[in-house]
Structures are given as C-alpha cells and as structure tokens.
Amino acid sequence: GQQLNQSPQSMFIQEGEDVSMNCTSSSIFNTWLWYKQDPGEGPVLLIALYKAGELTSNGRLTAQFGITRKDSFLNISASIPSDVGIYFCAGQLSGGSQGNLIFGKGTKLSVKP
C-alpha cells in the first residue's frame, strides 16, 4: 500500500527548544494533515493544509504543504511539557477515495522540563 515516511521516529528535547518533523512520500497528495495523539485518546487534528506551498500556523505550531505535494513538515516552537505525545502526519492521495487518509507511523515527542 501507499506509504508515508515520517521522521524522526522519536525526539527527546529540553523544554523551550524548537522541534521539527516531516513526512515524505513518493505519491502526490491533495491534502496534508497533522494530528497529535495523547495516551489513551484518539488523534486530534492540529493543522490542515489544502494546497501546495501553503504555510499555516496554529499558535506555536507551523506546518507547510510541500511544493511538490509529496511532503510536509511540522514545526513546534518553544516546546512545553504538554507538547508530549505522538504526532502523526496524514494525507489524502490525489485521485484517492474522498475521506480516507494515509497516516505516517508517528513521531514520539518527549519534553524534559
């Protein structure tokens, strides 16, 4: 099946540091989404990107839809302990069935106070 390569797999950082993670694919996507999952909960949408080159912010989070439509990155600035969790990228394939998403395997973020 289609793959999204998400990196890094895990990060262990100091509070206050900036974080960057990304997703790449060999396929073209119409939409890129970034989710955060806390333990025992379902993923929660952080940012949605709809067109190539789009740069969108949500508080301390910034994400971009790559120009080639095959990649996206998420940056978190000035990390805080509550940023801990697993971050997933997800995309909807160009020409794919509307609605179902392909997910990356996640980036596990740990923040040391």
Partner 1 sequence: DSGVTQTPKHLITATGQRVTLRCSPRSGDLSVYWYQQSLDQGLQFLIQYYNGEERAKGNILERFSAQQFPDLHSELNLSSLELGDSALYFCASSEPSQGAYGYTFGSGTRLTVV
Binding residues vs partner 1 (CB under 8 A) = 1, 31, 33, 40-45, 48, 50, 88, 90, 92, 97-106
Closer of 19 and 49 to partner 1 (Cβ): 49
Task: Name the residue nearer to partner 1 (CB basis): 27 or 77.
Answer: 27
- Rounded to 5 degrees, what are φ and ψ at 78? 45, 65
H or E element, residue 20: strand 19-24
Considering beta carbons, is residue 14 or 97 the nearer one to partner 1?
97
For 91, the 3-state DSSP assignment is: strand
Q: How far is the CB of 109 from partner 1 (least distance, A)?
A: 16
CB of 7 to partner 1, least distance (A): 13
Task: Output the CA–CA distances (angstroms, integers) from residue 23 to 4, 15, 40, 112, in the order listed.
Answer: 6, 24, 24, 24
Nearer to partner 1, 19 or 102 (CB): 102
Least distance CB 81 / partner 1 (angstroms): 22
Q: Taking a C-beta distance cutoff of 8 angstroms, is the pair 17, 80 a contact?
A: no
